[in-house]
Amino acid sequence: MSLAGKVAIVTGSGRGLGLAYAQELARQGAAVVINDVDEQVAREAVESITGAGGKAVAVVAPVGSTETAQQLVKTAVESFGGLDILVTNAGVLRDKSLLKMTDEDFDLVINVHLRGTFTCVREAYAYFKANKVAGRIITIGSPTGQRGNFGQTNYAAAKAGIVGMVRTWALEMKKAGVTANAIIPVAATAMTKTVPFFQKAVEADERGEAMPDFFRKDLGFGTADDVAGLVAFLASDAAGKVTGQAIGIGGDRLQLWSHPEAVATEYKDGGWSYEELLERFDDLFGERLQSVGETFPELPADLQPEAAGAK
């Protein structure tokens, strides 16, 4: 078992992707601190690991606050003698278009995803540094944070911010031997279940059947278990030189996302005035403007979502 003797915290791990991550880390030998806001869900997650011969305990608390972050690290140390791995998976959605999104919608998503990642990483890194642990920080991004998506101002901001923090942490943590990476998963979860485009894939997964190849290969959309192997790999000693990266995974597809780079550069003596930009911007950059959002291939006819109310 590649992670034998390691201790991991996985936030938001009572169900879905987070549970798959926790179970895979445990299968590879790590002791795991489960985290969820629902006590029964957290208890069942722990039992799914201990029942298979693994080690796990639960912390029932919402992430975001420094107090929860401290409780998670304290529980790992007191229960299993240390901490080696942090996976910040906890998240919520409050999707609405900009003019309908309330302050509360925005703040909740930012607090759980972005602040929750920040406070938990800060606490874990403090432990790593104080105890000379070459720890692993694994955060969870999203295609929405990379490309944008209609109705997800709050979620896009949080997920883009997480990847930005990862790049910074890779610089700050390098001397301590700690790695920080972001995973960009595409999988059947409670969050994707309501998207009609993925209906047939999610339904197949819920029946315990293999998803159609169109989803797994063309879209890189799969199950939670398809993502878990990458989490375990990034948590291992074998990934010690991988840091500051955004790595996409889903179905049969594995991707390395680029960092933002300038796609076109022009210079002019004396700088660029309003008048110069009016005259030249379109010629210089008009055909090189970047796209936003994701573009999917057309669904085959047999994979089209069923009409509402259809059996």
Angstrom distance (rounded) from CA 185 to CA 74: 29
Beta bridge partners of 9: 33, 86
φ/ψ (deg, to 5) at 240: -60, -20
Q: Out of 121-125, 162-166, 193-197, 295-299, pick the least confident.
A: 193-197
Distance between CA atoms of 88 and 69, rounded to whole angstroms? 11
Is residue 288, in this structure, part of any structural domain at all?
no
How high is the mean pLDDT of the chain?
95
- 305 located within any domain: no
Catalytic residue set: 142, 155, 159
How far is Cα of residue 47 from the mean position of the Cα atoms in its chain? Answer: 24
Q: How confident is the model at residue 84 (pLDDT cuts 50, 70, 90)?
A: very high
Residue 152 lies in a domain: yes
Average of per-residue pLDDT across 186-207: 84
What is the number of structural domains in the chain? 1
240 part of a folded domain: yes
Identify whether 206 is part of a domain: no
**How far are the Cα atoms of 55, 201, 211, 291 from residue 88, in angstroms, in the given order?**
19, 26, 27, 29
Domain assignment of residue 250, given as a range: 7-187+223-256
Q: Is 64 left (phi over 0), alpha (psi -120 to 50) or beta?
A: left
As beta bridge partners, residue 10 has 34, 87
Tokens 């006590």 -> residue = 39
For residues 126 and 209, what is the distance between their CA atoms, to the nearest angstrom?
44
The domain spanning residue 53 has which CATH number?
A: 3.40.50.720
Q: Is 270 part of a structural domain of the chain?
A: no
pLDDT tens digits along 137-187: 999 999 999 999 999 999 999 999 999 999 999 999 999 999 999 999 999
Note whether residue 118 is domain-resident: yes
Q: What is the pLDDT of residue 1?
A: 65
- Report the percent of the chain where pLDDT is more than 70: 98
Domain presence at residue 100: yes
